[in-house]
Amino acid sequence: MRVRFMLHSLLTAALLLLLTACQPQNATSFIGTDLTGTQFGKPLSLTDHTGKLRNMADFKGKVVVLFFGYTHCPDVCPTTMSDLKQTMKLLGSKADDVQVLFVTVDPERDTQTVLAQFVPSFDPRFIGLRGTEAEVAANMAEYKVYAAKVSEPGKTGYSMDHSAGIYVFDKSGAPRIYLSYGQKPAEIAHDLQQLL
């Protein structure tokens, strides 16, 4: 009985080793969550801060960094945009092969003019995107992004509660990495360099 158990254990170990050896080895090692092979985010079609209609196909050949936020955000959005600005500096000349897209979750206040002032102030290569509320909502749904207006009692106006992660697409437009809020510029640069 013991011999049969040992033989079964050896055969199982050998089979696992063989299966592992047959798996394709991923040459990339991301700090963020690996999204390779997932299918989502296809319909991105919004107007940029210059008034031009854009979609993901416009950026083929570049690594695309996609962030959903809003210009009136008191902390998360400007921090993330500053981190992306620093990331571009860390990438040096390779930064020209990266396209940062900022999609507003607040099209009511984030007009073309407001986006044109806010987004390029971090880096002139960054592009701000907007649309009607329905268009923005459709794109947010495709990327599994949450956003909702939050009114505070006794205060005028509102803030936006929203998802704060970053999606990264490779040069062919395929989703590859999800970076959580708070990733350091060096970590973001590390992952982008894997795709450049």
Whole-model pTM?
A: 0.84
Reduce the DSSP state of residue 144 to 3 states and report it: coil
Task: Give domain limits for the chain.
Answer: 31-195
Q: Hey, what's the torsion of the CAs at 145, 157, 135, 164, to 10 degrees?
A: -20
For 87-97, the pLDDT digits (tens) are 999 999 999 99
- Provide the pLDDT for residue 39: 81
Question: Which CATH class, in words, describes the domain spanning 31-195?
Answer: alpha beta
For 15-47, the pLDDT digits (tens) are 333 333 443 445 569 999 999 998 876 668 899
The answer to whether 164 and 151 have CB atoms below 8 angstroms apart is: no
Query: Which 8-state DSSP code applies to residue 170?
Result: -
Q: Residue 105: which of 156, 65, 160, 157 has the closest Cα?
A: 160
- Provide the pLDDT for residue 27: 57
- Provide the pLDDT for residue 186: 97
Percent of the chain with pLDDT over 70: 84
The answer to whether 84 and 67 have CB atoms below 8 angstroms apart is: yes
